[in-house]
Chain A
Amino acid sequence: MTIPAPAGPGTMRQADAFAGWVHRSSRGLEIGTETPSGKPQSAPVALFWALGTTWQLRKTLWILVLKEFKSRYRAQALGLAWSFAYPLIMMGTVSLAFTYILHIRIKNFTVFYLIAAVFWQWFSNATLAATGSFVDNASLVKKTVFPRYLFPIAAVRANGINFALEWALVFAFYFVFPQAYRFNVTLIALVPLSALQLFLLVGVCLCTSALNVRYRDVYYIVTSVLTFGFWLSPILYATEMAPPLLRYLLRLNPLAGVMEGARDVVMRGQWPNVASLLPAVAVASVVFLIGCAIFRRQNLELSDHV
């Protein structure tokens, strides 16, 4: 029995890789010698081990992601086609309203909208799915030692598959609106932009999923906040259209940096504006740390409340 192995739930796998003692008390988890010192594992150590565990379990996580993805489309006649139908119908409607009725003066509005909408879809669908993920997986939270933080992460990644597929849609529209695109080597910047959004999502979803176990109305709050979020993100407009003060506020929204960066990349062939991405990175980092702290606090009682 030399295989490194798992310890507690939502804790970390490396725990007994050295076949050490794992102590659980109301103060939390402690790993070490036979006699507990009474000092639970510190937050930075816990985070470090959680990252290591996520890496060790990446393949299992991927299968869990596929399971989420598959089960979502199983009972539907059109299946995956819905994944494309929704953004297409939405794009058609929005273009109609804004181009022909409101006479918006943004060039190539259809593509302009679609790029941001693809990011928004991922953000909003993933947040909704992840917020309920502990409650949805209640029996697994109660009865297995699988690290729990991987449930919201699996929900985020399952919606990430749709995100990737929708990018195919964005590029397919090159054949309809070739003038809207400027392909360049800068396209590779879409990878770090997507990674930034993934990072942000993990932080947000750790907060909402852990809180939702204790307070079930978090789910409804998330739904409402997403409705506002849509209008506070530069999806139907660009932040530069706003008056100066408002512009700075809007750019604090980490999604703004990501969406406008992606437009720079795809529509202008430019690198994303680093200055406007910095607030996004900063906010995403803070959100991530808050998410970890909330999860860590709720984790001790998670299985009592799901």
Chain B
Amino acid sequence: MHRDVVIRAAGVGKRYQRVHEKPMLLRDMALLLSSRMRSVDEFWALRDVSFEVRKGEAMGVLGPNGSGKSTLLTLLAGTAYPSEGTASTRGRVSPLLELGAGFSQDMTGEENIIINAGLLGLTAEEARQRMRAMVEFAELGHVIDTPIRQYSSGMKARLGFSIAMHVTPDILIVDEVLAVGDLRFQEKCSREFDRMRGEGVTIVLVSQSPDVIAMRCDRALWLKDGRVQNIGDAKEIAAEYERAMRPPMD
């Protein structure tokens, strides 16, 4: 075992039940006890996934819709538990699965920073210490004490991204949310992303785009139908993925 490994998935699988269209009622539980209903439609969103990520690495996760990318992220972020195997992480994990999680329209920008940063793992004190930097990065100094109901959607996205960038995790888990704001803000975000990598933050990035993975990551994991199709150098995997996914020319 390497000393600098910070993420390890060992035979990880996640099983979901495609139970009913309706939420489950007690009646269903009674029916489940009878053998007739016992065959619930189960499927594995993820199966037998094993890999390691070292400190400071950027690992890309590629795959078509339904290949298990998001499921893998939730297991690494710890918002869900695996059905088999073990998902292990070391250090502070910050999942960026949704920008501005928990934003409340009625609260001011400042109050929302504390809520959102709290949801990302900061205490209120930590959020206050970083408030100024967050507000400056989002370029919202003039409206930060007004309810965010009055913000444009771009302003809200900027605020959400800015908070996430200032949580300073050991491991950042990102789900295709980097494309926010106008072109200028996107460039700023890219620089911020590179800066975090430079500071030794370990990043797991999910994207549909092989170009993004090739540009941003060191290594890549290609998921297909919930299993690892290939894992290796980001540029090679991205190129291979692109070849495989491109419709055949006629």
Contact = CB atoms under 8 A, between A and B. Distances in A.
Contacts of B187: none
B6 to A, nearest CB: 9
A143 B123 contact: no
Interface in A188-239: 214-217
A146 B118 contact: yes
Given A24-B88, A70-B107, A143 B114 contact: no
Contacts of A67: 104, 106-107, 111, 115
Contacts of A25: 81-82, 84-87
A147 B130 CA distance: 22
Contacts of A24: 75, 78, 81-82, 86-88
Given A3-B126, A26-B82, A60-B124, A74 B106 contact: yes
B133 interface: no
B88 A7 contact: no
A19 B90 contact: yes
B29 interface: yes
Given A19-B91, A304-B80, A140 B121 contact: no
B16 interface: yes
B34 interface: no
Interface in B58-112: 74-75, 77-95, 97-98, 101-102, 104-107, 111
Interface stretch (A9-17, A44-52, A240-248): A9-17
Contact of A16 (B5, B23, B75, B91): B91
Q: Which residue of B26, B123, B169 has the most chain A CB atoms within 10 A of its CB atom?
A: B123
B33 interface: no
Contact of A146 (B97, B119, B126): B119
Nearest to A58: B124
Contacts of A16: 90-93, 170
B121 A6 contact: yes
Nearest to A5: B92
Contacts of A63: 107, 111, 114-115, 118, 124
A301 B138 CA distance: 36
Contact of A22 (B5, B89, B106): B89
B93 to A, nearest CB: 7
Interface string B1-29: 10001000000000011000001111101
A168 interface: no
Nearest to A217: B25
A143 B79 contact: yes
Contacts of B118: 57, 60, 63-64, 146
A162 interface: no
Interface string A17-37: 001111111101100001110
A301 B123 contact: no
A145 B85 contact: no
A1 B88 contact: no
Interface residues on A, range: 35 or more
A25 to B, nearest CB: 5
A67 B119 CA distance: 14
A74 B107 CA distance: 11
Contacts of B75: 24
A57 B75 CA distance: 23
A142 interface: yes
Contacts of A56: 123
A24 to B, nearest CB: 5
Contacts of B1: 34-35
Interface string A265-306: 000000000000000000000000000000000001101110
A8 interface: yes
B182 interface: no
Contacts of B85: 25
B92 A23 contact: no
A145 B77 contact: yes
A215 B121 contact: no
A11 B89 CA distance: 14
A139 interface: yes
B23 A216 contact: yes
Contact of A143 (B5, B95, B121): B95
A1 B83 contact: no
Nearest to A8: B78
B106 A57 contact: no
Contact of B95 (A64, A145, A300): A145
Interface of B: 1, 5, 16-17, 23-27, 29, 74-75, 77-95, 97-98, 101-102, 104-107, 111, 114-115, 118-127, 168-170
Name the 7 nearest CB pairs between A and B, nearest first: A59-B124, A60-B118, A5-B92, A8-B78, A6-B121, A216-B23, A144-B119
Given A141-B79, A145-B94, A146-B121, 5 more contacts: A7-B78, A24-B86, A36-B88, A63-B111, A304-B16
8 contacts: A5-B92, A21-B88, A21-B89, A59-B124, A67-B111, A67-B115, A142-B80, A145-B93
